[in-house]
Amino acid sequence: MSEERLKKFVDSVSKLKGVSYVAAGAEGLPYLVGGTERENAEYVAAVASSLYKSINDLTTTLNLGREEWSKVFYPEDYRMLMFEYDQLTVAVKYEQVLEKIIESLVNNLKRNAVVKCYRCGNELTFEVVRCPKCGTRVPFTDPTCWSCGADLRLKECPYCGTLIFNDGGKPSFITLLIYKIKRIFGG
Ligand SMILES: [Zn+2]
Ligand SMILES: [Zn+2]
């Protein structure tokens, strides 16, 4: 189950424009990698668990508390987010502009969410779409746009185009009606 979840996460996230790589490994062994910087990904996957442990030891020593994840800030607007999942350490290197998207998708993985379109059955847990108001990329599962604040509880399924809730559920007739009226009057 969790192995399959992680594979889906790596597949989706490593395809996002602006993501250099996603690397998962344990105890010096690379387990799963994806992305454009393949060689770096292999290396990071191998050292991820010891690197993550070092960062955590350091923050514990400095009394900074233990976080859900750690981040490494690169020059030139790149970041690396590291977290633990099912005995593996996962590292994602991405362009800073993707920060909110990556955090949201990592949360979906960590809470083992499974979001599927009620109509076509395609999985949307790690899917990224465009906000219809401002055009920014947002995770399908997000209820609001992180950039412009638009209410995105209802969105079109990227596979079948049906208007569905961000949890994949079917909206009622009344909900759809209100949504359409609001769109017409710009609410
Ligand atoms: Zn927006
Ligand atoms: Zn669908």
Find, among 75, 32, 72, the residue nearest to 55 by Cα.
72
Ligand 1 center to residue 112 CA distance, Å? 26
Describe the crossing of helices 99-110 and 2-14 by its angle, rounded to 10 degrees.
170
Whether the Cβ atoms of residue 4 and residue 97 lie closer than 8 Å to each other: no
**Spatial separation of the C-alpha atoms in residues 30 and 44, rounded to whole Å:** 8
Domain boundaries, the chain: 2-99, 128-184
**pLDDT tens, residue by residue, 119-137:** 999 999 999 999 999 999 9
Q: Is the whole model's pTM more than 0.75, yes or no?
A: yes
Domain boundaries 2-99, corresponding CATH code: 3.30.450.30
Find, among 23, 64, 14, the residue nearest to 43 by Cα.
23
Ligand 1 center to residue 164 CA distance, Å? 18
Three-state DSSP class for residue 85: strand
Ligand 1 center to residue 40 CA distance, Å? 33
Whether the Cβ atoms of residue 168 and residue 154 lie closer than 8 Å to each other: no
| pLDDT of the chain, 187 residues: tens digit per residue | 688 999 999 999 999 999 999 999 998 888 999 999 988 999 999 998 898 988 888 888 887 777 788 888 988 899 999 999 999 999 999 999 999 999 999 999 999 999 999 999 999 999 999 999 999 999 999 999 999 999 999 999 999 999 999 999 999 999 999 988 988 887 5
